[in-house]
Structure 1
Amino acid sequence: MFLATVLIGGSFIAVENLAGLINPFSLILLRFLISAIILSPFVLFRQKLRRQVIPTLKRGAIISLFYAGFFILQLIALEDTTALNTGALYTLTPLLTALFSIFFFKDKISIKQYSIFFLAVISTCGVIFKGSLDLLLSFSLNEGDLVFFISMILMAFYSIVLKLFQKNEAPIVMVFSILLGGSFWMFLILILFDIPLNWSFIKGRYAFDIGYLIIMTTLLTLYLYQKATAVLNPKIIMSYIYLNPAIVAILVAIFNGIVLDYIVWIFIFISCISTVLLQYILHQEKKV
């Protein structure tokens, strides 16, 4: 899950670059379609895996509604809001997942969990706002933030539905089914609303960004999530989100040559400790 979190951290930078370039439905279709094409030989050329595709397609199509919905709304939101705002709001996703898990899995949220959730939110917001009180006080919400909040709900439900719908199929087969389902929904929307593809706009740096999203945060991350879901509950999986702002900050510093203030490094350290503590508490309470 740590590797998946690092890859997702990089996707925030790529998605921000691609926001507004072409219609979100067209972009997600391209992302899912190419991913499915790349993955198809590994599934269809093996008889054992090929037999699992048809029984898995229905569940994969349902799961893909939540997965694709998150990315579509994220792209739409970033046309009206900033990565700073979405990063701050995204820290609420683990808590949303924990609250939904109460109803779906009869989970309980202990006082320890609430305390660590609070500490994790504070520390990750410290990274997002660069330890600046002025930046924090200037934070305001807009329509784009409301759209992104809805996408967070979809992401929380995605992790829950993934757990509910998992059976004995190979993880790679479920990933393939999710990609096929997502491609179908996106294609259907493009046809119904007569939305142009405009894929010719994706060139140069944009081609690199979409390539990263396809390989790293669609194929690989979907597979890692599917593997992790077999042994971990949604609360544990989503708790890794608290590392995202720290990872994004470090990646931006590395690739853009930005020197992070010492206060940011302090908050990065606290967010890492918070994530480790939350993981420990969730695993311990899972055993009880």
Structure 2
Amino acid sequence: MKTIKAHCMVILATILIAGSFLASNNLTGTVNPISLTLLRFVIATLCLAPVVLFTPRFRKQIIRVLPRCMVISFFYSGYFICLFEALKTTTVLNTGTLYTLTPFITTVLCIFLFKMKVGLVQFFAYILGAIGTLWVVFNGSLNSLLSLSLTQGDLIFMLGVCSMCGYTIVMKLLYRKDNVIVLTFCTLLGGTLWMTIATVAMDIPLQWDLLQGNALLSMVYLAIGATLLTSYLYQKASIALNPSSVTAYIYMSPACVALLTFLIHGESISTVILFGIALSAIATLFLQIMNVRNSHKSAH
């Protein structure tokens, strides 16, 4: 039951992150993305601060938990910094394509760090998931995929992909039976500190006063829905699941974006896209089943 609950948490987090793509679209061109990411962390941290700071048993844990969370948030913030730096010289399509490597790279790292065993069938499931995700990203166009060319920005984003892999792995490695609320708060606080350093180092103006109306509502969603809640859900789920199980749901991210776009904006989903979504869903389900079996084998 604990494992099923953890899977449900990651699925909810995947949906919330998919919603962040739509919300981010409302903020395009208003304020520097790194400044927006800093604001996301600031709002999320301030929302959770009263719960932690006014609860004595939570407050006592901060000093013990914060150093480890600074490491966790370093990888989390590093992903965003690499993403926005990469987008100066590459495209959203390229980053979306390279992001599909995250589950596979995470699994390779888990093989070395957690002695996780991956069979040939499971390896092909990762390839199937990547194909399904790429199918959605490129709208089923093989010509678009073949015309993909890598730039310096893509190499920078690959560091971001590795940083995201590191984020899911260090959450597992550094967990010490901490209270998840305190863990989430310290991770968000750490993210705020790292993004502040990045903002100052890159001499980026804040310009938060430019956010008004729908842009402000979108920022609130990004801060609370796609940052605070997802951080809590990932921290909670990572206690019960291995990192490869968590990142396997990334294959469902483009499908969730397509579904939310349909529900919110009424944009239809073509049969070609549905095929890619089906491939991603099958691969994700298969990988989760294989991860559960491998976990049971390791336990015995």
CA contact (8 A) 1:20 1:79 kept: no
Q: Structure 1 residues 114 and 193 mapped into 2: Cα distance closer, same or farther (>3 Å)?
A: closer
Instruction: Find out whether 1:174 has 2:189 as its counterpart.
Output: no
How do residues 138-153 of structure 1 correspond to structure 2 at under 5 angstroms?
138-153=147-162
CA contact (8 A) 1:24 1:76 kept: no
Q: Residue 243 of structure 2 aligns to which amino acid in structure 1?
A: P
Output the CA distance in 2 between the equivalents of 1:203 and 1:80. Answer: 29
Task: Name the counterpart of 2:251.
Answer: 242
CA contact (8 A) 1:20 1:75 kept: no
Task: Name the counterpart of 1:230.
Answer: 239
Output the CA distance in 1 between the equivalents of 2:103 and 2:234. Answer: 15
1:16 Cα deviation after fit: 4.9
Q: Residue 102 of structure 2 aligns to which amino acid in structure 1?
A: T
Q: Structure 1 residues 231 and 139 mapped into 2: Cα distance closer, same or farther (>3 Å)?
A: same
How do residues 88-127 of structure 1 correspond to structure 2 at under 5 angstroms?
88-127=97-136
CA contact (8 A) 1:112 1:281 kept: no
Instruction: Find out whether 1:274 has 2:293 as its counterpart.
Output: no
CA contact (8 A) 1:9 1:245 kept: yes
2:195 aligned to 160, 163, 186, which one? 186
- Any idea what the Cα deviations from partners look like across 1:137-165, whole Å, max 9, x if unmatched? 33222333222221110000011111111
1:157 aligned to 155, 166, 175, which one? 166
Instruction: Find out whether 1:64 has 2:73 as its counterpart.
Output: yes
Q: Residue 161 of structure 1 aligns to which amino acid in structure 2?
A: V
More displaced stretch, 255-264 vs 86-95 = 255-264
Structure 2, unaligned stretches of length 5 or more?
Answer: 1-9
1:127 Cα deviation after fit: 1.2
Q: Structure 1 residues 269 and 189 mapped into 2: Cα distance closer, same or farther (>3 Å)?
A: closer
CA contact (8 A) 1:60 1:181 kept: yes
CA contact (8 A) 1:19 1:79 kept: no
CA contact (8 A) 1:171 1:223 kept: yes
Q: Secondary structure at the match of 2:240?
A: coil
Task: Name the counterpart of 2:61.
Answer: 52
1:261 aligned to 266, 270, 275, which one? 270
Q: Residue 280 of structure 1 aligns to which amino acid in structure 2?
A: I
Output the CA distance in 2 between the equivalents of 1:87 and 1:101. Answer: 23
- What is the aligned residue count? 288
Output the CA distance in 1 between the equivalents of 2:123 and 2:24. Answer: 31
Q: Structure 1 residues 44 and 12 mapped into 2: Cα distance closer, same or farther (>3 Å)?
A: same
CA contact (8 A) 1:163 1:233 kept: yes
Output the CA distance in 2 between the equivalents of 1:85 and 1:167. Answer: 37
Q: Residue 199 of structure 2 aligns to which amino acid in structure 1?
A: L
Structure 1, unaligned stretches of length 5 or more?
Answer: none
Task: Name the counterpart of 2:20.
Answer: 11
Instruction: Find out whether 1:84 has 2:93 as its counterpart.
Output: yes
Q: Secondary structure at the match of 1:209?
A: helix
Output the CA distance in 2 between the equivalents of 1:64 and 1:96. Answer: 19
CA contact (8 A) 2:131 2:279 kept: no
1:192 Cα deviation after fit: 4.6
Structure 1 ranges of 4+ moved more than 6 A: none
Task: Name the counterpart of 2:225.
Answer: 216
Q: Residue 189 of structure 2 aligns to which amino acid in structure 1?
A: L
More displaced stretch, 88-97 vs 133-142 = 133-142
Instruction: Find out whether 1:29 has 2:38 as its counterpart.
Output: yes
1:87 Cα deviation after fit: 1.8
Q: Structure 1 residues 16 and 93 mapped into 2: Cα distance closer, same or farther (>3 Å)?
A: farther
Give the TM-score normalised by structure 2. Answer: 0.90
Question: RMSD over aligned Cα, in angstroms?
Answer: 1.8
Output the CA distance in 2 between the equivalents of 1:82 and 1:17. Answer: 18
CA contact (8 A) 2:43 2:224 kept: no
1:228 Cα deviation after fit: 0.5
Give the TM-score normalised by structure 1. Answer: 0.93
Quote the sequence identity (%).
44
1:94 Cα deviation after fit: 0.3
Output the CA distance in 1 between the equivalents of 2:88 and 2:22. Answer: 14
Output the CA distance in 2 between the equivalents of 1:17 and 1:154. Answer: 26
Q: Residue 279 of structure 1 aligns to which amino acid in structure 2?
A: Q
